[in-house]
Amino acid sequence: MTDVIVQEKELKSLVVNKLTEANVSKEHALVVADVLVHADSRGVSSHGVLRTEHYVKRMNEGGMNPNPDFNVEDRGKTAALFDGDNGMGHVITKEAMDKAIDLAKKNGIGMVGIVNSSHCGALSYFAEQAAKEEVVSMVMTQTDSAVVPFGGSEPYFGTNPIAYGFPAKNNKPIILDMATSNVALGKVLHARETGKSIPDNWGVDANGNPVTDPNLVKNLLPIGGPKGYGLALTVDVLSGILTGSAFGTNIATMYGDYNNNRRLGHVILTVDPGLFIEKDQFLENIDNMIDELHQLEPAEGFNSVMVPGEPEQLKEKERMNSGIPIPESIYEYLTS
């Protein structure tokens, strides 16, 4: 399937138009478009504008609130609980991160639990949001059951991603954003959309057999076997049980039950780098770490050692100049 090359400004405008047609306010639509195009520009198409049609369908069928009324309750000096009123998770998480950043700047540390949310897009966006304010961050979100736990034959946890952000002084921040499964479900969906095969360690069919045809994938596999399984459990405890949200197989599915709110839980932790050492020293040390890693001799087949998030940052720089490739079918939907 061929791609259409679209410039960032046009792509955001197309997403905003689709969302406002579904009664989302322009203010919220702009945030969602920014998060989605952030993903596409960095080469993470699984979390990009291909999701727009799903969000519109869910709102049209009553499973997502286009005009939510957010509520924030302070829980002591360093924590808060953010109720997203089942709105768009991108907006909810961005505003919750603003709160967490403010808590960290005022008190050294901040923790915000999020309830009644929905799919929030690529977590790297929010880790980068904190890094721009020179704040260290961790972001986690639960997802619906899709990953077979180590030793099991049926799914329990979701892909349950984690992101960390570490600001630097002169270099770009270190941004780690990873699913606790071998891949995010969105990568399988993108492979289906583009007609490409997948590695046999991404997912299994209904009988538990590894497959390379993305259309046959029934469930995903955890990254690193028991390690990914343990990480997925941790994410579900912190973003689900700790916030009072659902967990495990009790989480409403993303692709199904379109008329029911998903009520997802997320959790954010922020730290002022000056909490233990001078902030400038922390930022310089991150720079030093990045520079030292860059100076290591690369293995055969590699040009250099990169830090987490760096390949995506380089891709973003490239696509800001050359444009962003979008599958033709997605472009046709956005322009219809």
* Closest by CA position to 112, among listed 78, 84, 88: 78
Q: List the beta bridge partners of residue 140.
A: 162, 267
- Would you call 187 exposed, middle or buried from its count of C-beta atoms within 10 A (0-12, 13-18, 19+)? buried
- Would you call 22 exposed, middle or buried from its count of C-beta atoms within 10 A (0-12, 13-18, 19+)? middle
Catalytic-role residue among 28, 38, 90, 119: 119
- Phi, psi (rounded to 5 degrees) for 130: -70, -40
| 54 among known catalytic residues | no
Between CA 41 and CA 49 the distance in angstroms is 10
- Beta strands 109-117 and 79-83 are parallel
* Closest by CA position to 30, among listed 90, 113, 107, 95: 90
The amino acid present at 107, given as its one-letter code, is N
- 239 token code pair: 């973003």
Between CA 52 and CA 40 the distance in angstroms is 12
Strand, coil or helix: what is 121?
coil
Strand, coil or helix: what is 122?
coil
The amino acid present at 159, given as its one-letter code, is T
Between CA 171 and CA 283 the distance in angstroms is 9
Q: With residue 58 as reference, give the H or E element that holds it.
A: helix 52-60
Which residues belong to the active site? 119
